[in-house]
């Protein structure tokens, strides 16, 4: 398996993969593909990684810039998607490891909204005062790369449709 940056030729496969992967999730908004398209169109994808095997895109991870409270410099992870037929094979973990390795060079930390049971194994956790309006606090998580605890609203790019104030 190869983890690499997306190319223009990967875009249709990424769209199909993300759509298929998120169809299975109850918490899916159904807008994950359009979020990626908007981030890509605005040039705000900090990372757009694919997992490829035998020429097929089998996993995808995006990151974009985020702010927590007044702290700029956070990398927002999401979406992360793996072909349903390839779950539990370490593809998502490999994508996450590469994303975190790259983010450590450019960001104060990583943040996301997701399943604590899954993301906790990468070091993500909740923090008092860290949140996203309308989201249960247990799913809003961060992984600071320094000793400063994040505190405040996790501000996503407008492409996520959360109607937050910038």
If phi over 0 gives left and psi between -120 and 50 gives alpha, with beta otherwise, what is residue 157?
beta
The arithmetic mean of pLDDT across residues 114-136, rounded, is 93
pLDDT at 97 over 60: yes
Query: Which residue from 122, 158, 137, 166 is spatially nearest to 35, judged by alpha carbons?
Result: 158
The predicted structure's pLDDT at residue 27: 53
- Cα separation, 82 vs 70, in Å, equals 33
User: Is 0.85 topped by the overall pTM?
Assistant: yes
CATH match for 2-158 among 3.40.630.30, 3.40.109.10, 1.10.10.10, 3.20.20.70: 3.40.630.30
The predicted structure's pLDDT at residue 162: 60
Q: Are strands 71-82 and 56-68 parallel, antiparallel or unpaired?
A: antiparallel
Q: What is the mean pLDDT of the chain?
A: 89
* Residue spans per domain, the chain: 2-158
pLDDT at 16 over 80: yes
Query: Which residue from 97, 100, 135 is spatially nearest to 116, judged by alpha carbons?
Result: 135
**Model confidence pLDDT, tens digit, residues 105-123:** 999 999 999 999 999 999 9
Taking a C-beta distance cutoff of 8 angstroms, is the pair 81, 17 a contact? yes
The predicted structure's pLDDT at residue 42: 87
Own/partner long-range contacts of 138-142 (Cβ < 8 Å, ≥24 apart)? 139/113, 139/114, 139/115, 140/111, 140/113, 141/111, 141/112, 141/113, 141/114, 141/116, 142/68, 142/74, 142/109, 142/110, 142/111, 142/112
If phi over 0 gives left and psi between -120 and 50 gives alpha, with beta otherwise, what is residue 122?
alpha
**Model confidence pLDDT, tens digit, residues 56-84:** 999 999 999 999 999 999 999 988 999 98
The arithmetic mean of pLDDT across residues 90-118, rounded, is 95
The predicted structure's pLDDT at residue 25: 53
**Model confidence pLDDT, tens digit, residues 22-36:** 876 545 455 678 888
Distances (CA, A) of 88 to 84, 119, 141, 156: 9, 14, 22, 28
């Amino acid at each position: 398996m190869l983890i690499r940056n997306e190319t223009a030729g990967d875009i249709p496969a990424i769209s199909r993969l993300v759509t298929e992967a998120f169809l299975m999730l109850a918490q899916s908004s159904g807008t994950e593909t359009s979020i990626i398209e908007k981030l890509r169109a605005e040039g705000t994808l900090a990372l757009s990684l694919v997992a490829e095997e035998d020429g097929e895109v089998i996993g995808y991870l995006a990151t974009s810039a985020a702010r927590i409270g007044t702290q700029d410099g956070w990398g927002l992870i999401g979406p992360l998607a793996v072909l349903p037929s390839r779950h539990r094979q370490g593809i998502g973990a490999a994508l996450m490891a590469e994303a975190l390795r790259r983010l450590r060079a450019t960001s104060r930390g990583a943040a996301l909204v997701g399943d604590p049971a899954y993301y906790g194994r990468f070091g993500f956790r909740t923090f008092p005062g860290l949140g996203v309006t309308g989201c249960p606090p247990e799913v809003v998580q961060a992984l600071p790369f320094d000793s400063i605890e994040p505190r405040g609203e996790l501000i996503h790019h407008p492409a996520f449709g959360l109607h937050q104030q910038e």
